Every structure is written in C-alpha cells, then in structure tokens.
Chain A
C-alpha cells in the first residue's frame, strides 16, 4: 500500500462533479479529507490517498486528465 498527501485544486467547471467519489469507487483508492475550501468559483481539498502504488498513479493521472491540479503537500514546487 502506498500513501500520498496531496492538495487537489479544481477548475471551476469541475466543482459540481463528484470527482472524489469516482476516485474512491472506480479506482479503489481510500481517501481521508483533512481540509477543504469550496465555493461557487473555486475549490481545493487537502487529503490523504491510500492504495496500491500503480492504482494511485492511475488515479492521479485520471485527475490530471480532468484538469484537476494535483500537488504533493510539500509545496515550494517550482512549476516547470
């Protein structure tokens, strides 16, 4: 099992969608939400993901494909 602490930032058009629900149901990833802030035009969620390593990777690729930004909790990341 692999674990990851991430921050998901949703584009406005995805805020209404049950993205995290699909992550749990379709990918078999366990989520544990720690903090979130969602309003009409923006949204972010800080959570822990737990699954087999390759499942996590597939789930994250799927999120990115939906336009969700996935950042590890250690920020200070210089965007390439």
Chain B
C-alpha cells in the first residue's frame, strides 16, 4: 500500500495548540489539555481520492493514510468495513423515509466498534516499541485488547472490577491475558490504571496511547460516507460513553469535506445515552458546556461512564453540527433491542437499544424530520449481554416429543393470541 510521507505532523494540544512530536503522551505539559493527532492535510489533499480509497482493502485500513500509523499494519487486518444496511422494516415502524443501520455488531474480531480503536492502538504501541499493552475496562474494550494483544504476540494486562459478570470475564480470559480483578469500583480501577501507567512502561490504550487509539473511531464515519456513495447523511445518532466515538465521527465528516471527498459536512450529530447515565445528553439539553458527573445506574453498562473524558468535545460536536440528544430509560433500551431484532434481524447489545430508542424519540419530537436521511449506529453485539433479556423473554411452550402434544400446544397458542 502507498504511504504518504510525512502526513503525520505529530500531536497538538486541543486547548492551547502547542505541538509535540509523535510519542506515547496524551496530556499537554503546559495546560494539561488533551493531545490530538495532527495531519498535514495539504499534503493529503491531492493524494487521497475516492478512487485511491476504493482500491484499498475491505477493512479500516483502506483509510490508513488518515490514521496515525507510519509503518505496516500489525494487527486487526480484517477490522471494520461492516455493513451499512438500508432499513425497510424499521424505517416503516419508526415512520422515517430514509433509514440506514451501520452494523458494528458484526465487526471483526470481537464484535464491537472497539476493534477499530484497539487495532490502531496496538499497531501504534508496537511501532513505539512497547512489549505490553493494557487497559481498564468492563467489557468490549477488555475483549478487544486481549484479542489484539494475542495476535500481536504482546503481553497484556487487563484491569477489571472484581465483580464483573462471568460472561465478560470468559470472553476476555480466552485470549489468555493477565486479567487483574481489582476489588473496588470502576472508578477505583480507572484511577489505579492512571497510576500504573505512570509507573510501568506499558501502552495503556485508553491512557497514554489515547490520542492514537481514539483516531480509530474516525473509520466508523468514513465508512458511512463512502457506503452512502460519498454523501453526508442528514442525521447520525451515536451512543456515547466517554464521548470519543461521536467526536471522531464528526471529525471524520469534516476531514472528508476538507479533502474534497464530500461536498459539505451537512450532518447533524445526535447523542444517545441512558437516563441512568447521560451526562453528555444533559449538557446538550441544558445548553451548557459544563459537565456534571453522575453515578451510573443503568443496564447499558458499556455506556456507563459518569465522568466522560471527551464529554466537552462530544457536546461541541453536537452543537457545532446542529444536532441534539435524548436519554432512554432501561425499559426503552430493552424495547429498542427487541424492536431492532424483530424488524431487522439484528441482535445488538444495550448500547444499540439506546440508539434505537433515542432515534424513535427524536423522530417523535420532530427533532429529526421524517423526510430526511438518518443513520443509526449499532456498535456492539447482543450475544455478549443476553442477561438483560432473560426476564423479558421466555420459551412459548414445552411439550413431549409427539405430534398430538404439538397440535394441542399450537391450538392453545392460537387461542391465547386471539384473546
């Protein structure tokens, strides 16, 4: 694959603009603002075209020149390029003319959009010469870091709260990382990790590698635009936790406009969160750029970050694009999961339930006009978190293995349905 020399200018502080050479740092020494990867867009302008992208592999690496990787791709060769589905059934049910589903519930290899960020982070960590990667997580990130570390033949330390569900632990342990169960709350796990990252020379994907890691989320946006024939949709509804995904999709859209790949960045970004943990949506509703941290209490555990690192930038993405946001109750989240499954045959996790529920509300309130184009972000797979559905779903009948037993059961079911 062709590499544009010198496309990566290094890191730049999002607050004071100070520049740093590309290295594993994430905070500006001067103002303590977060650092972001900076590219030479003038150099990229002539070289990146719709055709050059189309000639790339069917994965996130077709956008490699817009990612902070300078050498070869180390891991995750098949990450991304997930289906963008034109919805008929859900569109009818919700009453919207043009509805698309970006389906990362089937993202390789660990079934969530986190594979996009982690494959970039682990490749970068290798490039920096680390032999160990690490993260603090309660689920999707843990699975993805453990899997990609295994592929990279790197050591990995995954920090989780000790009381995490067994299912999530197994889906991480299978890759044989060092799993550190910390007796404490999520908050304490995260704080411990920032201390650990100061002391040990490890690549913490969401701490010291964060500027590179978060760039991986841009590919979710590039794919939407490319799969729509290089057109910016009217609206994108994004589930938010740390607030990085929505910020980076918006960045991707603006970059594509800068590079002439689309006409105008005419998309409104909408934030989707749970009632039980929705500090970013609360900022949007209250029209304030001050984030008030919350204590999460929701079944949408993958979105349960009460004090999001990129909360301010997520809020800015929503405001700058002219979007809005909504909260979904736990009941609405489950309804959203069931609705997507019933209408489109897609089993998403709670985060996807949040997105569907919020889209429904935004349409009902007229925030999203019914005759405009809408993309909903389905970012994780339902088979990882079936627990939330156990109470809601049950087998219809249990019978002996005989035809007459089945005939009777069927008659019963039909009469129940009639009454």
Q: Which residues of A contact B (CB under 8 A)?
A: 5, 34-35, 42, 44, 46, 48, 69, 71-80
Contact = CB atoms under 8 A, between A and B. Distances in A.
Given A77-B307, A79-B306, A35 B191 contact: no
A5 B27 contact: yes
B27 A77 contact: no
A52 B50 CA distance: 58
A48 B15 CA distance: 17
A80 B27 contact: no
Interface in B280-312: 288, 290, 293-296, 304-309, 311
A79 B295 contact: yes
Contact of A46 (B31, B187, B242, B295): B31
7 nearest CB pairs, A to B: A80-B185, A79-B306, A78-B186, A74-B194, A75-B309, A76-B309, A80-B187
A79 B193 CA distance: 15
Interface residues of B, number: 33
A42 B293 CA distance: 14
Contacts of A80: 185-188, 295
B190 interface: yes
A79 to B, nearest CB: 3
Contacts, number: 72
A56 B362 CA distance: 47
B10 interface: no
A74 B207 contact: yes
Interface in B21-36: 27, 30-33
Contact of B293 (A48, A73, A74, A79): A79
Interface string B165-199: 00000000000000000000111111101100100
A77 B296 CA distance: 11
Given A44-B290, A78-B190, A34 B32 contact: yes
Contacts of A44: 290
Contacts of A77: 186-187, 190-191, 293, 305-307
Given A77-B293, A78-B189, 18 more contacts: A5-B27, A34-B30, A34-B31, A35-B31, A35-B33, A46-B31, A72-B191, A73-B32, A74-B207, A74-B309, A75-B311, A76-B206, A77-B186, A77-B187, A77-B305, A77-B306, A78-B187, A79-B294
Contacts of A72: 191, 194
**SS class of chain B's interface: helix, strand, loop or mixed?**
loop
A76 B190 contact: yes
B296 A46 contact: no
A69 B187 CA distance: 14
A35 B32 contact: yes
B207 A78 contact: no
Interface string B303-345: 0111111010000000000000000000000000000000000
Nearest to B187: A80
A5 B26 CA distance: 13
Contact of B15 (A35, A73, A74, A75): A35
Contacts of B206: 76
Contacts of B296: 78-79
Contacts of B309: 74-76
Nearest to A46: B32
Contacts of A73: 27, 32
A79 B190 CA distance: 10
A74 to B, nearest CB: 4
Contacts of B15: 35
A75 B308 contact: yes
13 contacts: A46-B32, A74-B190, A74-B194, A74-B197, A75-B309, A76-B307, A76-B309, A77-B191, A78-B189, A78-B306, A79-B187, A80-B188, A80-B295
Contacts of B306: 77-79
Contacts of A74: 27, 190-191, 193-194, 197, 207, 309
A80 B163 CA distance: 13
A79 B32 contact: no
Given A5-B27, A72-B191, A78 B32 contact: no
Contact of B307 (A42, A46, A75): A75
